[in-house]
């Protein structure tokens, strides 16, 4: 069974965090004299919130054996050790997992995408999920900063049936985007899931360069950033970056967008004018 990001040891989605806090509150209050009706209401809210992610898991098509294997291997890595040796902080919770992976697969199928760009690959779960949905001649280019985690992903792609559709490019994504632009590459679907402070720059590179094919769809991960944009008065640098990114997208007349409360938030963006 895949350890989904939202239900991992450390909750990393608004729902996961709320469920965890409510559970702790219920435990803290048990034994206290609380009116029976208030208890019943508190338990009902806890059941509603804590049961949501498991229900979504159960009602969604299971991941392929290759994806399950990749998720299990990701969960079994020593991330403290890997992160210490890496160019950036890395942790198991970064993996997108079952629900989001299935969502991305369906987006690739629904848009009939043949070329996909991923910015921020980690161990390759979302890349492989999308590659599985591509036609035989389809291709996915995945950008990753850390060479160690890129090697890990490559080794898992080699033993996966859709892995040959994935090309991994190691380096800062902004540089990789410049290289791809120079090569004349263009993409039907782009998934942005790297450093949150880089999102605004990646979106602008995509919009102002020639990397988007006609009608391309851009998907952006973590746009709810654990609730920080609206529920935290002292947001972290990634939280502040996501809050500013979301405002920027809303104010950009070239775009239309929808922010979906899927896991930690996914925004779908489409260019509507060429100005
Ligand atoms: C949240 S993880 C990606 C998760 C992945 N999409 C998945 O679903 O499993 C973010 C990844 O972006 C990478 N990253 C961070 N900064 C980057 C940069 N400037 N260029 C390319 N990759 C970067 C990190 O090393 C990390 O592996």
CATH assignment at residue 150: 3.40.50.150
Gap between the Cα atoms of 238 and 241, Å rounded: 5
22, 152: one domain: no
Q: Which residues contact 170 (CB under 8 A, 6 or more apart)?
A: 144, 145, 146, 147, 150
H/E stretch holding 118 = strand 115-119
Q: Is residue 1 part of a domain?
A: no
Structural domains counted in the chain: 2
What range defines the domain where residue 252 resides?
66-271
Report the candidate in 212, 155, 214, 205 with the shortest Cα–Cα distance to residue 176.
205
82, 211: one domain: yes
- State both tokens at 255: 């775009």
Of the CA atoms within 13 Å of residue 194, those in its CB half-sphere come to: 27
The pLDDT of residue 5: 45
Question: Which of the listed residues 102, 195, 198, 266 should we mutate to test ligand 1's pocket, taking the one with most ligand atoms within 8 A of CB?
Answer: 195
Gap between the Cα atoms of 218 and 38, Å rounded: 44
The pLDDT of residue 274: 76
The pLDDT of residue 31: 86
54, 114: one domain: no
Q: Is residue 4 part of a domain?
A: no
The pLDDT of residue 9: 61
- 139 phi-psi bin (left φ>0, alpha ψ -120 to 50, beta other): beta
209, 263: one domain: yes
Report the candidate in 143, 141, 149, 142 with the shortest Cα–Cα distance to residue 88.
149
Cβ < 6 Å from ligand 1: which residues?
A: 88, 94-96, 120-123, 125-126, 143-146, 149, 172-173, 193-195, 198
137, 154: one domain: yes
Low-confidence ranges of the chain (pLDDT < 70): 1-9
Averaged pLDDT of the chain: 94
The predicted model scores a pTM of 0.95
122, 249: one domain: yes
Report the candidate in 243, 216, 223 with the shortest Cα–Cα distance to residue 232.
243
CB 269 within 8 A of CB 220: yes
211, 232: one domain: yes
- State both tokens at 42: 């508190």
129, 254: one domain: yes
115, 50: one domain: no
258, 171: one domain: yes
Gap between the Cα atoms of 113 and 209, Å rounded: 19
Q: Is residue 5 part of a domain?
A: no
CB 134 within 8 A of CB 165: yes
Q: Is residue 2 part of a domain?
A: no
The pLDDT of residue 146: 96
77, 110: one domain: yes
């Amino acid at each position: 069974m895949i350890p989904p990001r939202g239900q991992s040891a450390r909750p990393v989605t608004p729902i996961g965090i709320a469920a965890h806090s409510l559970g702790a509150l219920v435990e803290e209050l048990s034994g206290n004299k609380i009116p029976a009706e208030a208890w019943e209401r508190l338990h009902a809210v806890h059941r509603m919130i804590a049961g949501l992610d498991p229900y979504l898991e159960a009602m969604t098509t299971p991941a392929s054996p290759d994806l399950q294997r990749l998720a299990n291997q990701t969960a079994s890595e020593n991330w403290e050790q890997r992160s210490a040796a890496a160019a950036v902080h890395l942790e198991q919770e970064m993996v997108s997992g079952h629900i989001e992976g299935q969502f991305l697969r369906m987006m690739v199928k629904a848009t009939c995408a043949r070329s996909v760009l991923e910015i921020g690959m980690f161990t390759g779960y979302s890349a492989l999920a999308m590659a599985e949905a591509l036609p035989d001649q389809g291709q996915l280019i995945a950008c990753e900063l850390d060479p160690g985690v890129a090697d890990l992903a490559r080794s898992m792609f080699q033993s996966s049936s859709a892995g040959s559709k994935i090309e991994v490019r190691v380096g800062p994504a902004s540089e990789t985007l410049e290289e791809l632009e120079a090569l004349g590459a263009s993409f039907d679907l782009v998934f942005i899931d790297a450093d949150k402070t880089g999102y605004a720059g990646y979106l602008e590179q995509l919009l102002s360069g020639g990397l988007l094919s006609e009608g391309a769809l851009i998907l952006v991960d973590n746009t709810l950033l654990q609730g920080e944009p609206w529920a935290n008065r002292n947001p972290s640098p990634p939280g502040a970056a996501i809050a500013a990114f979301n405002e920027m997208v809303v104010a950009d007349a070239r775009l239309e967008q929808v922010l979906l409360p899927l896991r930690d938030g996914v925004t779908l963006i489409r260019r509507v004018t060429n100005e």
